[in-house]
Amino acid sequence: MCSSSTSSRRRTGGRPRSAEADAAILEATRAALVELGWSKLTMGDVAGRAGVAKTTLYRRWASKNELVVDAVAVLFDELELPDRGSLMADIEGVVLQFAALLERPETKTALMAVIAESTRDEPLRERIRASIVDRQKRLVLAGRRRAQARGELPANPASATGTDDLIFDVIAGAVVHRALVSAEPVDAQWVQRFTALLLGGLAAAART
Amino acid sequence: MCSSSTSSRRRTGGRPRSAEADAAILEATRAALVELGWSKLTMGDVAGRAGVAKTTLYRRWASKNELVVDAVAVLFDELELPDRGSLMADIEGVVLQFAALLERPETKTALMAVIAESTRDEPLRERIRASIVDRQKRLVLAGRRRAQARGELPANPASATGTDDLIFDVIAGAVVHRALVSAEPVDAQWVQRFTALLLGGLAAAART
Amino acid sequence: MCSSSTSSRRRTGGRPRSAEADAAILEATRAALVELGWSKLTMGDVAGRAGVAKTTLYRRWASKNELVVDAVAVLFDELELPDRGSLMADIEGVVLQFAALLERPETKTALMAVIAESTRDEPLRERIRASIVDRQKRLVLAGRRRAQARGELPANPASATGTDDLIFDVIAGAVVHRALVSAEPVDAQWVQRFTALLLGGLAAAART
Amino acid sequence: MCSSSTSSRRRTGGRPRSAEADAAILEATRAALVELGWSKLTMGDVAGRAGVAKTTLYRRWASKNELVVDAVAVLFDELELPDRGSLMADIEGVVLQFAALLERPETKTALMAVIAESTRDEPLRERIRASIVDRQKRLVLAGRRRAQARGELPANPASATGTDDLIFDVIAGAVVHRALVSAEPVDAQWVQRFTALLLGGLAAAART
DNA sequence: TCCTAAGCGAGACGGTACGTCGTGTCTTCGG
DNA sequence: CCGAAGACACGACGTACCGTCTCGCTTAGGA
């Protein structure tokens, strides 16, 4: 995830990069996002908070965008899928978790911004996919397998990947849209109605 | 839409504002979005393209964000819901239209950017809601009414508004997520699978 | 002298440049030279002292070098050649004046620095010549004419210009070298010995 | 000359400093001066040219200024005073030599720069005096003695030192001023006129 | 012969200044 | 009173050097 992850290519000479600096910078970035939001966040400010020179930031991250992606990505790893006993409860749980994550000011302001930038920046898009998007899909995969184990969904291997991607876009897209575009609360009632809709769709698909 | 919409408050004396200027500025803004994207777009550049002084821009829009919202909003009004004979066909049609709209560089880069800004800017959020979000919901409303007229959906007035909002978030969210976050094509196959899922959900909801 | 001296080319529109700003900047530059010397002087610091934005400096002067030349040039205009009754007294007077000028920290540190830069910067060399060097030669010219009027020097028009230039280089060069390179005081004794040497040379030249 | 001249204080153990490195660094410094001039010369660049680490430079010289003084000083040692048979010819010879030295880009750009710095840096002034200025005076001393031996100048010991210093400032100052400040060529004609003036002054002084 | 203190390359680091750019305000003039 | 032209204060940008620091490796003298 970190830009210095090229572990193999460690040159012999020279002072090694400070490992603590990385952590301090990412933490400072999150703090700055909370206080200032995306558009007011500056590299100089982040450097100051981290007790680090601006040069050090630029030595490790090519741009503000990449820095923010790395700083925020770790928050998405906090999402889990505890077994709540039924597919419905599992979906409701993950949706609420995801909504709570999107309520945090650092994610709320950063996520859409970096996605906006990624429309013009292929490397950034790749980084987002690797750091955030693909890591989320594991939740859908896990949920589906658990539901199949329970017998709630048929063990139908046909185009499981395509379906997983679809489910992922529907869940994540709906929650993001509700929270950020419609700008209305993702409360229990909305989650229940959404889950019901989704389960109905899955059941209908299973019957075919 | 336009900031000069304060039609009543027209000062008596003096030269009136040029109406052509407004159109030229919005057109120039869209052109700049296509060429430069959101983050490289500058007010000075837009003014130059429009053959207008920077002062004139600031006299009419308070910020770059509001200008871009106005410039892009009109594109969303192009969306229509021609009667294709069935709910399924109507949904597929509007999803494809929406996906095509999101493929245009000016919307792709601008939409997420202004939404990101809106998380820290209440007036901007309100402007987005009024100019873009609420205007889209008419499509959901129209589609539901047409389906009810066809008998495809029950004429159930119970919390229709809430359901409409949910459907809106699911459709718009899924398409935006697929197109911009997952960054994968919204092709016919995906649209069919998505529509099938949604219709299944709606049918299940209707049975309750 | 000022960069905005292109009086003829005054465009119609637009806010005119502030005249006070020019004076404040040059004054601030001299103050910074006194406090910090040439190598520690920064454009940002000058801007701060002048109560002006850094941009304004760069809008008017292409480089630190040119700014300093303009700031210091005016000091050289203070040199005068009051009639002291004899060529010897006139020379001693102007040498002491020049030495006093070179004792001021702003000239001491700036003069050699811009000359050093001018060895690699033709426009700067031209600016120095126009702003400083050529303006000094008037003193030699005036002194020679006055001495000729007194009968101390023959009214010999033969290559007067070449001789004036030579005298100028000898006087200015010797004083600068004594003050800055040898770094020893230009006191009354030295001035007397130098003047005697120069007068002897002039008298010898007159006899040929 | 070299900063490592602290010959007495040689610690017992440890690897001695490379002698070739010193030569390579000074050579690289001169090359960089020729190519880049004073203000564009950087320590990193010099290190690169010399095939040496930046650390090695700083271990031996405290600053860019001192390094440049050392690099340039050796060039001034090339000046000689071959016996040309008369005082006039000796002066003309040394002036032409000095002018040729000042034509070299490395001296032209470096000399004035370090002198400018020395106005604010006492140790640097001392180093310049020891490395460059005082070593030049030997030429004046030698020329005077030779002229006295020839009988061209009286063997007058009265304040010989003061006169030597004056002559030194007049010669060196006039040439430097002509070459760098007036920025005009030190050609044969100028040298002859200057020499005639100086000889006249010396002859007049001898008569007193 | 080994030990050991220093030299050395490489290069990351905290700083500081650079010169440019964009924002949003202002001041002038002409229509 | 509008609008163009453009100067202005402000502040962030990303780069370049500075001079210092940590590394791990080399190298010569003294034990």
Closest chain A residue to B108 measured between Cα atoms?
Answer: A119
> Who contacts B198 (Cβ-Cβ below 8 Å, separation ≥6)?
A197, A201, B91, B167, B170, B171
Work out the percent of chain D whose per-residue pLDDT is above 90. 84
pLDDT value at residue B158 = 62
pTM of the model: 0.89
pLDDT value at residue A205 = 86
**Mean pLDDT for all residues in chain C:** 92
Confidence label for D155 from pLDDT (cuts 50, 70 and 90): confident
The 10 Å CB-count burial string (b at 16+, else e) for B13-37 is: eeeeeeeebbebbbebbbbbbbebb
CB B103 within 8 A of CB B179: yes
Q: What confidence tens digit (pLDDT) does each residue in C120-160 have?
A: 999 999 999 999 999 999 999 999 999 999 999 998 766 67
The 10 Å CB-count burial string (b at 16+, else e) for B156-179 is: eeeeeeebbbbbbbbbbbbbbbbb
Please measure the distance between the N-terminal and C-terminal CA atoms of chain D and give it in whole angstroms: 41
pLDDT value at residue A11 = 58
Q: Is the pLDDT of residue C113 over 60?
A: yes
Return d(Cα D154, Cα D148) in angstroms, integer: 6
Radius of gyration of chain D (CA): 20
Q: Is the pLDDT of residue C5 over 50?
A: no
DSSP calls for chain B:
--GGG--S---SSSPPPPHHHHHHHHHHHHHHHHHHHHHH--HHHHHHHHT--HHHHHHH-SSHHHHHHHHHHHHHTT------SSHHHHHHHHHHHHHHHHHSHHHHHHHHHHHHHHTT-HHHHHHHIIIIIHHHHHHHHHHHHHHHHHTSS----TTHHHHHHHHHHHHHHHHHIIIIIS-----HHHHHHHHHHHHHHHHHHHH-
The token duo for A39 is 């558009």
**Mean pLDDT of the A35-53 span:** 97
**Mean pLDDT of the D17-41 span:** 95
**Mean pLDDT of the D181-193 span:** 96
Q: Is the pLDDT of residue A185 over 80?
A: yes
Confidence label for A94 from pLDDT (cuts 50, 70 and 90): very high
Confidence label for D11 from pLDDT (cuts 50, 70 and 90): low
pLDDT value at residue A159 = 66
The token duo for C188 is 């009354």
pLDDT value at residue D157 = 64
**Mean pLDDT of the B19-39 span:** 92
Tally of CA atoms within 13 A in the half-sphere of A70 that contains its CB = 21
Q: What confidence tens digit (pLDDT) does each residue in C10-27 have?
A: 567 789 999 999 999 999
Return d(Cα A54, Cα A62) in angstroms, integer: 12
Say if the Cβ atoms of A109 and B116 lie within 8 Å: yes
Q: Is the pLDDT of residue B13 over 70?
A: no
pLDDT value at residue D15 = 85
**Mean pLDDT for all residues in chain D:** 91
DSSP symbol at D3: G
> Any CB–CB contact under 8 A between B76 and chain A?
no
Confidence label for B207 from pLDDT (cuts 50, 70 and 90): confident
> Any CB–CB contact under 8 A between B168 and chain A?
yes
Return d(Cα B53, Cα B33) in angstroms, integer: 19
DSSP calls for C101-167:
HHHSHHHHHHHHHHHHHHTT-HHHHHHHIIIIIHHHHHHHHHHHHHHHHHTSS----TTHHHHHHHH
CB atoms within 10 A of CB D84: 14
Chain A residues in contact with B168 (beta carbon < 8 A): 182
Q: Is the pLDDT of residue D200 over 70?
A: yes
Q: What confidence tens digit (pLDDT) does each residue in B38-93 have?
A: 999 999 999 999 999 999 999 999 999 999 999 999 999 999 999 999 999 999 99
> Who contacts B45 (Cβ-Cβ below 8 Å, separation ≥6)?
B32, B36
CB B65 within 8 A of CB B117: yes
> Who contacts B20 (Cβ-Cβ below 8 Å, separation ≥6)?
none
Chain D residues in contact with C162 (beta carbon < 8 A): 193
Confidence label for B7 from pLDDT (cuts 50, 70 and 90): very low
Positions 2-61 of D with beta carbon below 7 A from strand E are 11, 13-18, 21, 51-56, 59-60
**Mean pLDDT of the D2-8 span:** 42
Q: Is the pLDDT of residue C3 over 50?
A: no
Say if the Cβ atoms of A116 and B165 lie within 8 Å: no
Confidence label for D199 from pLDDT (cuts 50, 70 and 90): very high
Q: Looking at chain B from residue 28 to 57, which residues have their Cβ under 8 Å from any Cβ of chain A?
A: 37-39
> Any CB–CB contact under 8 A between D202 and chain C?
yes
Radius of gyration of chain C (CA): 20
> Any CB–CB contact under 8 A between B103 and chain A?
no
> Any CB–CB contact under 8 A between C173 and chain D?
yes
Q: What confidence tens digit (pLDDT) does each residue in C186-208 have?
A: 999 999 999 999 999 999 988 87
Confidence label for B17 from pLDDT (cuts 50, 70 and 90): low
Positions 105-124 of A with beta carbon below 7 A from strand F are none
Return d(Cα D175, Cα D96) in angstroms, integer: 9
**Mean pLDDT of the A13-23 span:** 92
CB A143 within 8 A of CB A81: yes
Q: For residue D191, what is the enclosing H or E element?
A: helix D188-207
Return d(Cα A74, Cα A69) in angstroms, integer: 9
Q: Is the pLDDT of residue B208 over 90?
A: no
Say if the Cβ atoms of B37 and A119 lie within 8 Å: yes
